[in-house]
Amino acid sequence: MPLFNSQDILVVGAGVLGLCTAAELARRGHSVTVVDPGGLNASAVAAGMIAPAMESAVDDLSPDHAALLRRARDTWLEFAAATGVRLDRDLAEWRGGNVETLAARLASLGFAHEFDREAGRLTTREDWKVEPEQALEALSGGVRRVEGRATRLTRVGARWRVETTAGSVEADQAVLGIGAARPMEGLTETTARLLALISPIRGQIGVVGERLSDHVVRGPGAYVAPMGEGCVIGATMEAGERSLTPDLERSAQLLAAAWAVLGQAPRPLEIDWRAGVRGATPDGLPMAGAAEDGLHLALGPRRNGWLLGPLVASVVADEVEGRPSKEPTLSPRRFI
């Protein structure tokens, strides 16, 4: 890819949107520094779903929204090859519940699928996934990291300065990929107003050492997805919650729903329950692009951070380089 203009870029946040953006900018030839607050972020507390078909059907999305998710998935093909992220393109399945309704929605939106009405089984190969641990490690290659929590962002002449608990960092342009974290000090009124629109959603998952299914299986109230040698059971969507302590009652409900989806009798399992907090915008679409001159946002993907990562990264990288946005509906300025 031809270099537009080489710059120093500062990315604040090391979740999927931040790291995808950092990786995209680095492979375009820019010098990128990522401010990583450390700890287990929401992108690691995830199944790594890249699932435009099932997400569109479950949420009954409009054709335009579903088409955007499909474009986001397709962006992964070249991006994964360039960054070393491994894509799993195995079967995805839905069992039980309103399966006929979901099959009809997939058909109306043009997603390829197979529907066994008698068995109540809906399958598609339009949905993929990644292993979050492997993907986050691959995305971190080629960028400088500063381990510290960002506390203040200010404009210093033509550059941006971020104060962190590990010291200060400056760059020509800055990207905020801070998820649902509370805003740092020093923000302009415009950027502060945009960040205030991001609402937290807590998601709980359970990591199991045993492989309960060899492909993604979804159903009412839960999914089971392969991960490493085991699997992950997910996931809750708890609007307004910020606690990173798993709720045991909700964990029990999630496990019961997972056994029902699998059609198996409950039995003892060793489960590592985890919680992460995601960010969502008022319209359910991420903010991707410039908030003001030289300051860009990569925020608010709701539960579709892994699906939307490379598309958001490409949009932000284009605007960093002065190119027009290829997805203007994602512009943060739509809320101003």
Determine if the peptide bond prior to 235 is cis (ω within 30°).
Answer: yes
Assign domain 8-43+135-198+282-335 one CATH number from 3.50.50.60, 2.40.440.10, 3.40.50.720, 3.90.950.10.
Answer: 3.50.50.60
The mean pLDDT of 40-69, rounded to a whole number, is: 97
- CA distances from residue 251 to 145, 206, 244 in whole angstroms, order as listed: 34, 8, 13
Could you tell me the pLDDT band of residue 39, with boundaries at 50, 70 and 90? confident
pLDDT of residue 150: 96
Q: From the centroid of its chain, how far is CA 4?
A: 27
Give pTM, 2 decimals: 0.96
Residue 306 has pLDDT above 60, yes or no: yes
The residue whose two tokens read 């045993």 is 210
pLDDT of residue 50: 98
Q: Which two tokens stand for residue 224?
A: 């089971």
- Short-list 131, 147, 138, CA closest to 48: 131
Residue 6 has pLDDT above 80, yes or no: no
Compute the distance between CA of residue 302 and CA of residue 54 in angstroms, rounded to an integer: 15
Residue 5 has pLDDT above 90, yes or no: no
Structure confidence by residue, pLDDT tens digits, 145-178 = 999 999 999 999 999 999 999 999 999 999 999 9
- Short-list 258, 280, 277, CA closest to 267: 258
- Short-list 159, 150, 177, CA closest to 300: 177
- CA distances from residue 222 to 41, 127, 206, 225, 252 in whole angstroms, order as listed: 21, 17, 11, 10, 11
Q: Where are the domains of the chain?
A: 8-43+135-198+282-335, 90-126+199-280
pLDDT of residue 29: 94
Could you tell me the pLDDT band of residue 4, with boundaries at 50, 70 and 90? very low
Fold (CATH) for 90-126+199-280: D-Amino Acid Oxidase; Chain A, domain 2 (3.30.9)
Residue 88 has pLDDT above 60, yes or no: yes
